[in-house]
Amino acid sequence: MKKKLTLRKIGSVWLFVIPALIPLIVFWIYPILRSIYISFTDWDYMSPTYQFVFLDNFKALFKDQRFYDALWNTVVFTLGTLIPTIVLGLLLALLLQKSFKGSGLIKFILFSPWITPTVAVSIVWTWIYEPNNGIANAILKFFGLPGLQWIKSSQTAMLAVIIVTVWKSLGYAMIFYLSALEKVPKELYEASGMDGAKSWQRFRDVTIPCISPTTFFLMIITMVNSLQAYDQIQILTQGGPSGSTRTLLYMYYQLGFEEFNMGQATAVAIVLILITVLLSVVQFTGSKKWVHY
């Protein structure tokens, strides 16, 4: 009797777990393991046979200047989007902390880019960045500044892609900070107010530590998103001009789905996974020093 009951219990657990677990295994876990396997081969997708080359793909990658450029671009892009998103997101949340007439509308506007399709808004930005007829250069000229080539020049293309990405994710960070600020216990402010603490000191000693879990969460999320950015790069620059906006992820796409060099492509994917894991571990260990739950 008792055995029958436990069997039924295990059955119902499986029943609830399986509908999510099977797709999770088929489209997430298995592909990652399979990627590792493919990265040790010279498979080109078309031919049915392939050979084991073990670490040759990785060796070739580590000798390829393109890889180092892409790695560098990934670092620049990730930091270039992470820092402004967090700093400006917090600034906006501080400005909007006390609600006033029109603050709802401002929140609506600031958050709206996040929900719109990256492809559509990137197309709009392509038009804004147009060197001859675009509004971006018209505005620069209005202020007496020289126009830029924006996405047409390898000097400024990365900046242009970063601006679009920050524009899109700023509101998201702001919303997280708004709710974090709301949860800062009022007594803490009062306690520090009694000491006659200046507002800057209060911000540094009370607010920043209290919202540190949110900062940490946003750092991880923004980092993961930046490492995976594809849509805006594909529309704005296709990784160009001359590879100046080719991140690791974009390189993976080009190797895999343009050149059909599956071995090399999955090798890049493995490197990307390792970087994500490494950065997460670094952030998690580092967070013990400055994140206060």
Partner 1 sequence: MKIKTGLQKTGKVCLLFLFSIFTAFPFVWMVLSALKTKAEIMDVSKFFPAEFQWNNFYEVIFHSPLLKYVWNSLFVSAITLAIQIVTAAMIAYALVFMKFKGRKVLFAIIMGTYMLPTAATYIPSYIILADWNLLNTFTGLIISNCVSIFGIFLLRQAFMQVPMGVIEAARIDGASRWKILWQVVCPMTKSSFITFGLMNFITCYNSYMWPSLITDSDEKLLVSQGLRKFFIEGGAYGTEWPLVMAGSALIVLPLLILFAFTQKWFINGIGGDTGMKG
Instruction: Dig out the tokens for 63 from the structure.
Output: 């000798």
Q: Please measure the distance between the N-terminal and C-terminal CA atoms of the chain and give it in whole angstroms.
A: 47
Our finding on whether 110 is near partner 1 (CB under 8 A) is yes
Our finding on whether 21 is near partner 1 (CB under 8 A) is yes
Near partner 1 by CB under 8 A, which window of 46-54, 56-64, 76-84, 174-182? Answer: 174-182
Near partner 1 by CB under 8 A, which window of 70-78, 103-111, 185-193, 200-208? Answer: 103-111
Q: Which helix (H) or strand (E) covers residue 50, if one does? A: none
Burial grade of 90 (CB within 10 A; 0-12, 13-18, 19 or more):
buried
Near partner 1 by CB under 8 A, which window of 34-42, 50-58, 70-78, 190-198? Answer: 34-42
One residue of 112, 155, 201, 242 binding partner 1 per CB under 8 A: 112
Our finding on whether 222 is near partner 1 (CB under 8 A) is no
Closest distance to partner 1 from the beta carbon of 292 (Å) = 10
One residue of 1, 5, 20, 46 binding partner 1 per CB under 8 A: 20
Q: What is the CA radius of gyration of the chain?
A: 24
Instruction: Dig out the tokens for 96 from the structure.
Output: 């909007």
One residue of 7, 24, 87, 278 binding partner 1 per CB under 8 A: 24
Q: Say how far apart CA 140 and CA 146 lie, in whole Å.
A: 6
Our finding on whether 106 is near partner 1 (CB under 8 A) is yes
Our finding on whether 253 is near partner 1 (CB under 8 A) is yes
CB nearer to partner 1: give 95 or 191: 95
Nearest to 53 by CA among 64, 30, 61: 61
Say if residues 276 and 224 touch (Cβ distance below 8 Å): yes
Our finding on whether 46 is near partner 1 (CB under 8 A) is no
Our finding on whether 281 is near partner 1 (CB under 8 A) is no
Our finding on whether 19 is near partner 1 (CB under 8 A) is yes
Closest distance to partner 1 from the beta carbon of 269 (Å) = 4
Burial grade of 161 (CB within 10 A; 0-12, 13-18, 19 or more):
buried
Near partner 1 by CB under 8 A, which window of 57-65, 152-160, 185-193, 249-257? Answer: 249-257
Say if residues 247 and 77 touch (Cβ distance below 8 Å): yes
Q: Which residues pair with 41 in a beta bridge?
A: 52
Closest distance to partner 1 from the beta carbon of 197 (Å) = 17
Which 54-83 positions form the footprint of partner 1 (CB under 8 A)? none
Our finding on whether 205 is near partner 1 (CB under 8 A) is no
Number of H helices, E strands in the chain: 15, 0
Helices 212-227 and 65-95: crossing angle, nearest 10°? Answer: 140
One residue of 224, 278, 282, 286 binding partner 1 per CB under 8 A: 224
